Amino acid sequence: MTIDFHFDFLSPYAYIAWTQLHALAARHGAQVRAIPTLLAALLAHGNTRGPAEIPAKRVYVFVDTLRSARHLGVPLAPPPAHPFNPLLALRAAAIVDDRDQQRRLIDHLYAATWGGGGGCDTVEKVQAAASAAGLDGAALVQRAQSAEAKQRFKQHTDDAIAAGVFGVPTMRTGEGPACFFFGFDAFGALERHLSGHENIVDDDILRWQQLPATSSRL
């Protein structure tokens, strides 16, 4: 079993999920495949706004994730600015093929962003995180700015949209709604699914998909 993990460094929920996902996967003999995915593109495709674009929700998200972080013993501090431009960091994560190296890189980029570091929104900061992860930071940053890296990352996001991903973090164990788990608060459902205790059947999904809408605010 492979868990596809769609994430963007912008999301503190994705950060919290990342710190817990590998242990959950190990409990069920599953592998984690990290897929950098541009949240801004998901929001644009769905014609919706991100939490950071709604002032009251922007503050609540940090309070909510801080509760989870303190409960789990995970360090959490706001980055120097938010929202920020995560493109270089995401492209760097997308261009690393070795999963162990990629995991270390993501660990350090998340630590720089949400673990009390200096952020991951500049060439210097991404290079420093990559070097701390044991990679050649200068070479990786150079590759991350190449046409190849940009296209690979774009393909990750395009494929996510085509699969129905609408936000981060999203964990996928296959195709279709019953294999989608959105948000850190879906970890309980993901664990039950991996344990074979899923209580959602195709007829349940079909009934909801065929339900008519009789009102719209647009």
Specify the pLDDT at position 53: 92
Compute the distance between CA of residue 128 and CA of residue 207 in angstroms, rounded to an integer: 51
Structural domains of the chain in order of their starting residue, each with its CATH number: 2-209 (3.40.30.10)
CA–CA dist 216, 193 (Å, integer)? 33
pLDDT given at position 80: 95
Give the pLDDT score at 172: 98
Q: Give every CB contact of residue 7 below 8 A, 6+ residues apart in sequence.
A: 14, 17, 18, 34, 35, 36, 37, 106, 168, 169
Tell me the whole-structure pTM to 2 decimals: 0.95
Length of the chain: 218
What's the pLDDT score for residue 176? Answer: 87
Sites in the chain below the pLDDT cut of 50: none
Give the model's pLDDT for residue 202: 78
The whole-number pLDDT of residue 120 equals: 98
- Integer Cα distance of 197 and 30 in angstroms: 16
d(CA 21, CA 86): 21
Distance separating alpha carbons of residues 187 and 159, to the nearest angstrom: 23
Segment 171-198, tens digit of pLDDT? 999 998 889 999 999 999 999 999 998 8
CB distance 101 to 139 below 8 Å: no
Tell me which DSSP letter residue 7 carries.
Answer: E
The predicted pLDDT at position 208 comes to: 87
| pLDDT at res. 204 | 86
Nearest-angstrom CA–CA distance, 4 and 175: 11
